[in-house]
Chain A
Amino acid sequence: AQTVTQSQPEMSVQEAETVTLSCTYDTSENNYYLFWYKQPPSRQMILVIRQEAYKQQNATENRFSVNFQKAAKSFSLKISDSQLGDTAMYFCAFMTTDSWGKLQFGAGTQVVVTP
């Protein structure tokens, strides 16, 4: 069974600064997908970024980028130029390619952006 671990329950960052969230996972699969979702106070789950395991290039999406280390089974998220609207719970999630889209989520990291 796959597990996803987010070791940082909460992180605080000032506006315009950079914060990095860590995520590690455990799997014996070679092909899979990794995701970061954010859940703002509204509780709506929003996709932030996706990474395909067979791609060596790290995914980027505007101010969000990942550092994917397949051998280390690590998938960190970097938020650059943090904005107040980035305040949310961030979840790392894992999916194998043959699982019919079943996501395995980590426990989440609460990010608080301060003025």
Chain B
Amino acid sequence: QSALTQPASVSGSLGQSITITCTGTGNDIGGYNFVSWYQQHPGKVPKFLIYDVSQRPSGVSNRFSGSKSGNTASLTISGLQAEDEADYYCCSYTRSSTLVFGGGTKLTV
């Protein structure tokens, strides 16, 4: 159950777009479309952002989008806003019927 691999940090300017990658293996991301993303502001509870690779829960801005290719999932945030500055975590279902998170990516706007 090794953690999924995410870049430690990414940065972007207001209004720009950024992409955060999340790399796993065929036993998790590559084997299933049960990939999700969570946003966590400092000192706050995580927020559910994306499920089923690319679906947004009700109430989540359409500036957030997800995709997957092979063993790598991606989260793209378009039209960056100051409030997007946070930590982002990917998560995948695994062959062992467990879940595994990525190490997290700190987004600086």
A binds B: no
Residues of A within 8 A of B (CB): none
